[in-house]
Structure 1
Amino acid sequence: MLDRLEQRPALLALLIAVVAQALFTIGVERPSILLFDEVHYVTAARVLLDFSHITNPEHPMLGKSLIALGIHLFGDNAIGWRAFSTLFGTATIVGVYAFTLLLARATRPALFAAIFALLGQMVFVQARIGMLDIFMGGFLVWAGVAFLAAMRADSRRVWVWWTASAMLFGAAVGVKWAAVPYVAFTGLAFLWLRHRDPGRFGGMHGLPALAVMGVVSIATYFATFAPAFFDETGPMTLERLIPFQLEMWALQTQVLAPHNYQSSWWTWPLMLRPIWYFYEPDQGAMRGVLLIGNPAILWTGLVAVAACWWAGLRQKAGVPLAAAMLWTFSIGIWAIIPKSLGFFYYYYLPSIILCVVLAVALHHWRDALKRRDEWLLIPAVGAFAYFYPILSAQALSSERAFTRWMWLPGWA
């Protein structure tokens, strides 16, 4: 069955999308009340719908606009708050599949990467809450897909893919500024890849390509502020648009008071301090939502990072090296980003990339593993099923039921 599906990558992508959307949508109405940072972003979305005034100014507007669109289409309720999160969650999973397919040029690791991302629990939780990271991640993953497509495109199509990548990067920054380093990384990767093989990217010249990337992504970013120009109170103007960015920077870099769930970036790969998004009575039962990764995937993924670095540096394997570099960059930027507080959900993007690294490592070392790479799916599925009640706000037996899942002291 798998061998036949590997010969039909488009059909496989469709099946992945159907499964992902079903998994993210079932029970999305639980909890029925705002949880965690929905308090900020859903509230901001409601204001956006009224075209009242700029709110939640520390972040750009696109993610909140998408939440507002969901409310407009489906109502001011749990489904409306989270509808577009589920769609972007599905887009992210399919994007992981497409990205790995283009990177490894093989269907099997692409499928495994998508499965790992689907079962990795991070996307699952973020796809069922009205927060910004799911939107930023979706745009970034597909920006990466367009970048790889441009790298392999001929001179007739390369500019289409390159421009699409720039627009998607601009949209990602229009959700959260945390996407900015990935735009810079892409520019450097382009120069490096083109230096190693000038025939890549359809023979595009470096300076024009970088200029298009910069102009298109910046223009797309500023276009995401369009709704603010129609606010009744203090509407955005062209003269205010640039100074407003400085106001956002000041808010982004302000020193915040300590928080119970704060954690340092180096603890995130080890999952030492996950976050309870919700734990209280709702709809007649105690329910919880814990943002935590799948240990079978995220902890094994760290071994895969080391394996990919080894393969890249000692065996000159380009695909494992690229995957390892991307993950290392994605976690390393948090060591230098000027944020006074860190939280485990900042690991969202690195955790997605880690699924790609794991799939690439299994594919590269498949012969050494005696072609038993699929065995990892057993503990991965088992762990997802084990944590599912506190990922999806299922009814729990008592107020202390959470102790069943608390493996480490920092998880409580």
Structure 2
Amino acid sequence: MSRAPEQPRDPIAWCAALAVGFWLLALWNLAIPSAPYFDEVHYLPAARELLELGNFTNREHPMFGKEMIALGIAIFGDNPWGWRLFSSLAGALALFAIMRAAWFATLSRFAVVAAGTLVATGFHLFIHSRIAMLDIFMVCAIALAYWQLAAAMREPETGRRSLALAGIALGLAMGAKWNAVPLAMAPGIAFLVLRWFAGRRRLFLSRRGMPVPGMTLVEAFLWLGILPLFVYWLTFWPAYSFQVDGINEGIAAHHRLMLDLQTQVLQSHPYESTWPEWMLNLRAIWYLYENVDGAQRGVLLVGNPLTMLLGLPALVWCAMRGISQKSPAHGAIAVLYAVSLGLWLVAEKSTQFYYHYFLPSTFLLIALALTLDDLWRAGWKKVSGAVLVLSALFFGFFYEILAAEPLAGPDSFATWAWIDGWK
């Protein structure tokens, strides 16, 4: 008699442990700097106005991220902990969701650990988990959505619940920042394409075939089309109650205003950059560099110098595997990177910054994790493990200017500003 195939054990405990560890590290000195820094100077006043429903400010961005910041202030007070605690929770939840998505996509324990390690030490997630900005809430919602989408494909018996949760998360992602819109559209389009190529006679009502057997295309449109838009609209509900400049002429008119504000031509900025510079990790942003809270401190948004570059050939490998071997996980991650970065190739936004690479860089690190998993399976275990160790070592070396730790003096930035674009 042949033995039953070995069933891999779900590493959910490892996922939880890594996410909690990441959260505790993000919490360390979360209240430093004690004054608002970088774009907190825009979003904190907007969050305070939300609590008072006085003057509707920062109208160019959707509401959900600012609502989360306002909720933190309402619960924990108008202080650094109230400003940033929900960002730290969103970062930890995003990391957990990324690992769960990797598990359902690959059923590989090493791929899960690799994805968690690389994203946790990739700099972007850590920095944005410690600042009251909108990006972390968008990334968290996208991660939750794609976790549930992967779960629906792996376990179609619970597909309806998973797609409903994915739809809610997609709506919240768009409600945090518009960067998420292409990624919110992708699941519904993918569902349609897969059913179309399955060649079913009853395209809209057939329950057979990928990506979620038992689910009709009509029902999928409800969960992945109608529900996200409804949730997105709900995030604007408080804006109808502002005393000054509220939504008085309807949601469509308000979105025309948002689009006008987003596409207005702004003056050039010393930190502005372009997508090729993002891909090559050539242009960083100093979120903070001054003497605050009794010491010289800095926060440098830059990608992990090792994994940002290793991730580029990993993306090519994933694209090749997706095409030649029809590996769904590899192909999907290459497409998601291209979609999330492609937005910035066509966006009518006059000034762009490196933090816009947060989403694409996350997919890049997951592509690297899948590539390392392939090397691990091929017997190159020392190489795969060494990349994870080196990524963590780079994180440790840069930690002081990722977490606003005290620096030796005003010229300390030179220790980490290796190229002119990082100064």
Report the TM-score, using the length of structure 2 for normalisation: 0.92
1:52 alignment partner in structure 2: 54
Q: 1:229 aligns with which of 218, 228, 240?
A: 240
For 1:136 and 1:49, the matched residues in 2 are separated by: 21
Contact 2:152 2:212 in 1 (8 A): yes
> What is the rounded CA distance, in whole Å, between the counterparts of 2:76 and 2:112 in structure 1?
33
| Corresponding position of 1:365 | 375
Which residue of 199, 219, 225 corresponds with 1:214? 225
Counting only pairs closer than 5 Å after superposition, residues 350-389 of structure 1 correspond to structure 2 as 350-368=360-378, 370-372=380-382, 373-389=384-400
Change (3 A) 1:398 1:199: closer
Distance in 2 of aligned mates of 1:104 and 1:110? 8
Match for residue 111 of structure 1?
113
User: 1: distance between equivalents of 2:194 and 2:39?
Assistant: 39
Distance (whole Å) between structure 1 residues aligned to residue 230 and residue 194 of structure 2: 26
Deviations 1:7-51 (A, max 9, x none): 352212221221011011111111111111000001111111111
After superposition, the Cα gap between the structure-2 partners of 1:162 and 1:8, relative to the gap in structure 1 and judged at 3 Å, is closer
Q: Which one of the candidate residues 20, 27, 30 is aligned to 1:28?
A: 30
Contact 1:53 1:228 in 2 (8 A): no
Structure 1 residues 216 and 315: CA distance shift in structure 2, 3 A: closer
- Matching residue of 1:246: 256
Distance (Å, rounded) in 2 between the aligned partners of 1:88 and 1:159: 25
Alignment of structure 1 residues 160-179 onto 2, 5 Å: 160-179=161-180
What's 1:3 paired with?
A: none
CA contact (8 A) 1:274 1:292 kept: yes
Query: In the alignment, does 2:194 pair up with 1:183?
Result: no
Q: 2:405 aligns with which of 374, 394, 405?
A: 394
Q: Which residue of 2 aligns with 1:403?
A: 414
The Cα of 1:347 is off from its aligned counterpart by: 0.3
Contact 1:320 1:364 in 2 (8 A): no
| Secondary structure class of the residue paired with 2:188 | helix
1:276 equivalent to 2:286? Answer yes
Structure 2 contact 194–210 (Cα < 8 Å) conserved: no
Q: 1:393 offset after TM fit, Å?
A: 0.6
Unaligned runs of 5+ in 1: 1-5
After TM superposition, the score normalised by the length of structure 1 is 0.94
Decide whether the 8 Å contact of 1:93 with 1:118 is kept in 2: yes
**What is the CA–CA distance in structure 2 between the aligned matches of 1:199 and 1:62, rounded to whole Å?**
32
Please show how residues 1-400 of structure 1 align to structure 2 within 5 Å.
7-154=9-156, 157-195=158-196, 198-237=209-248, 239-368=249-378, 370-372=380-382, 373-400=384-411
- Residues 150, 158 of structure 1: 8 Å contact kept: yes
Give the Å deviation of 1:144. Answer: 0.8
3-state SS, counterpart of residue 193 of structure 1: helix
Question: Which segment drifts farther, 400-409 or 326-335?
Answer: 326-335
1:310 Cα deviation after fit: 2.6
Q: Which moved more, 1:193-202 or 1:355-364?
A: 193-202
- Total equivalences in the alignment: 405
Q: Which amino acid aligns with 1:141?
A: A
Which secondary structure state, in structure 1, belongs to the residue aligned with residue 266 of structure 2?
coil
Percent identical pairs in the alignment equals: 37
**Could you say if the C-alpha distance between residues 406 and 235 of structure 1 is closer, same or farther in structure 2, counting changes exceeding 3 Å?**
closer
Name the CA distance, whole Å, in 2 between partners of 1:291 and 1:336. 24
Name the CA shift for 1:351/1:211 in 2 (closer, same or farther; >3 Å): same
What's the Cα RMSD here?
1.7
Q: Is the 8 Å Cα contact of residues 323 and 360 (structure 1) preserved in structure 2?
A: no
Q: Measured at CA, do residues 128 and 252 of structure 1 come closer, stay the same or move farther in structure 2, by a change above 3 Å?
A: same
1:366 aligned counterpart, secondary structure: helix
Deviation at 1:90, TM superposition (A): 0.2
Secondary structure of 1:280's aligned partner: strand
CA displacement at 1:268 relative to structure 2? 0.3
1:226-277 Cα deviation digits (max 9, x unpaired): 222332334435x522211111111111111111000011210111111000
Q: Please list every run of 5 or more consecutive structure 2 residues that lacks an aligned counterpart in the other structure.
A: 1-7, 199-208
